[in-house]
Structure 1
Amino acid sequence: MLADATEYLAEHGIDQPRKEARLLFELAYGQDTAWQMIHPDEPISDPMPFFGFVQRRGKGEPMAYLRGSKGFWSLDLEVTRDTLIPRGDTETLMEALIRHRPDRSTVSSVLDLGTGSGCLLLAALAEYPAARGIGIDRVESTARQAAKNARLNHLEERALFCVAQWAAPLAARFDVVISNPPYIPQADIGGLMKDVADYEPMMALDGGADGLAAYRDILPCLPNLLTPDGLAILEFGIGQGDDLKELARVAGLQVVELCADLGGITRAIVLSRE
């Protein structure tokens, strides 16, 4: 079964097909790689659950959607096709937040714009136990999924999720505003990997003609959303840093830091009020 699955996945362009086959076997039967290696001749009465997952993966469906979950920071999050899959690169924003606010008592309010799975807001609340937060998304089903993740991680009493266009309904200030908005230029979307372009929500990817449409909406709002000592931390795409710095300057914001991810790619910008 593993050999057939490995061959099938390789033919369909899946990287590390043997490893993925073992992960899919575990997903189908609950038996991890160690068990599989110890019991290579174990008879399997019903191969269909396994090969069903193999076919879906071969078509490009992301492993996180097959599992229905994805780890992010210290959390385990339920993910559906209503939510962008949380990625390790986005943890750069959490690293920046903790670097600039190491005292866990200094953050009492957090706003997450474009919350998706709720990963950033919930990670921040997990790190800052005195904080409460609001997550906003444009899609109701996505906001509901984020609220479910709050319950699954026992953070529901400190997190509220709303459906809105960015910060439009808010008249409050926050110690931290955090966001991973869509930033893929429209012309680049066709070149994305199949498991991204065909499965993840397009609204969470499409950043307009130059990838910066969301930032033009968000940045002008930040001076009125931040407390006097507040920070905004936003993720952005490759090569967009200089344009974001200029948009921030026009919006009356000060660039505190540009942050690189573990691959050395500049991934996030930290902003404050001037």
Structure 2
Amino acid sequence: MPSYRRIQVHTYSTDFTKAPEIVVEPELPTAGPGNVVVENRFLGINATDVNITSGGYGRTTLPVKCGLEAAGVVVDVGQSVSHIKVGDNVAYSSAGATGQFAVQLAKLAGNHVIGACSSDEKVEYLKSLGVDRAINYKKEDLNAVLTKEYPSGIDLAFEGVGGDMFKAVLDNIAIFGRIIVFGNCSHYHGDAGDEPQYGYQQNRKMQLRSASLRGFQRRHHPKDEPEHLQRLVKLVQKRKTEGRHRPHRVPRI
């Protein structure tokens, strides 16, 4: 029976090359109902992997599985899967799609949605998802746009960048507004632009607006995840989110 290799973290280290190890498993996994098995041909390393292996997301008992991005070929298909077949090329990622789903779910709930991005191409993509105001922060001053166009402030912000982006959100949060922090990617390369004593300014602005700030870490909600994941999957299957968010076939890798 063919074996397969997987990557796991065996020690925490700020040097990513020292943290993972390759483990050979004697048997290939089989696809359960509603699932597929993908033979990975290419793997990616992103900031989340680095944070996990360095202990930046907290530490747990080792070893733990590692790897969030890959591209490969479907080798097994479970029951009830009709839109994917053995031999299909697939690419998947747990990074970068968060905001795309967030804006679609916000629109489904009937909200006016603002989206910030770094290129004109992404502006057009956000518009195609239903975003009401897409802002290319490379060309427009995000803080100035929010202040001018939304004088009453933002009621809910979904923020995963930090640094200057977080400041712009905080400066424009509405009274009783809420900020959900799910990441801090501007700090990954030390370019957050934070000013000294910014913690005091942050707390003061939250106080003056009676606003609330809440962090989110997926691993803290293991009991809630199955229910909400099922709801999200059903939304995608029914195409109530943007239709192209079903698995996308590519001619080759």
Determine which structure has the larger helix proportion and give its number.
Answer: 1
Determine which structure has the larger strand proportion and give its number.
Answer: 2
Shorter-chain TM-score category? 0.3 to 0.5
Q: TM-score, normalised by structure 2?
A: 0.41
Q: TM-score, normalised by structure 1?
A: 0.39
